[in-house]
Amino acid sequence: MTAHESSPQDTDDFDLSSELDEEIRDSDVATEGSELEHPFEHRSGAHGLTYRRPPNATWRSKFVAVSMRRVLRPALDRMPPDQRALGRLRTMTNGIGRAGALETSGNWDNTGPVPGLWVGRRRFFTSDKLVFMLHGGGFTFGSPWSHKFLAARFARELGAPTFLPDYRLAPEHQFPAAIEDAIAGYEWILGQGYSPENIIFAGDSAGGNLALQLIDHLSDAGEPKPAGVALLSPWVDMNLADMTSRDMERKDPFLAIGLVEKSRDLYAPGLDPDDPRISPVNLNFSNDWPPFLIQCGGAEIFAGGIELLHERMVASGVDSTLQVWPDQFHVFQAFHPLIPEAVGAIRNVGTFMRAQTD
């Protein structure tokens, strides 16, 4: 999809429908009911799974991407790095998440060392399986409530509950508070009777970063690891060099470099961006790690770091499958069921989860 660049000042004069029409005319867009083709841009994995995708972004995906690039991204670019603005962002994302999953039960649990949210239909709680999900939000916003809808999709795919620990956020609680809470939350889950071979880790963006750090901790400590890990657009590299060059070449529809940099500096001030404790792309991977399914959008600035992560994991003997969805943006799966690509991606995650826990 051709990127149509503009400055934030142009937003008021922008005709969304006309640009969308132009973008659709400039590419071969799959129709909503067309057969999805195989293969898409995906890298090696040993799961024997078949993944499918539209050959180009569908019109719904294009509409969402153009809308974000013209409305949401400029707002995030201009967001001041103060507590009041961050508070508004937290309130907004939590509200959107709650509204998107009104039909799904969510039970808050304060009994463990880290409070959290149980998500899923009532019948799912009889299952001995579990999705342990770490939410995204740049380590500075987001919560179990903001990700309730996505957690509900995972619960439905596995037929089991999803638990989201409410890990501490920066700047009130900087590194390593978040990973400490992730470790404590997982240990508590094991204490509730769930077996590691029946648990799937899931994480998006910053949550994907934490999931990788959690696996690394478990591997180093010789503690039981989950059956598999599903990552959606994980933030794996705190060094902004590759992201900046990608964004200059083709504007990310959603992620603004300024927001990424602010989040990093609030979370881990003073740390070397290449430190593997915050940039898991630089971890020492081991072949005792569980299987991974990693998804990202081809249009997002995190794609380069994610591809490098996958290559290094495979070279170290980790069973990793990477799906790069062309023209898609950061955590596009959150727009399920609005865009067909999100529906297909979530189904692939479900297939992976069931394959690892059967």
The residues assigned a catalytic role are: 205
DSSP summary character for residue 173:
S
Tell me the CB-side half-sphere exposure of residue 280, using CA atoms within 13 A: 26
| Among candidate residues 342, 334, 320, 355, the one with its CA nearest the CA of residue 136 | 334
Question: How far apart are the two ends of the chain, measured CA to CA in Å?
Answer: 39
Q: Where are the alpha helices (DSSP H) in 256-302?
A: 257-267
HEC-encoded secondary structure of 25-76: HCCCCCCCCCCCECCCEECCCCCCCCCCECCCCCHHHHHHHHHHHHHHHHHH
| Among candidate residues 257, 253, 329, the one with its CA nearest the CA of residue 77 | 257
Distance CA 260, CA 262 (A): 6
Tell me the CB-side half-sphere exposure of residue 222, using CA atoms within 13 A: 0
**Residue 117 φ/ψ, nearest 5 degrees:** -120, 130
Tokens of 260: 């990424």
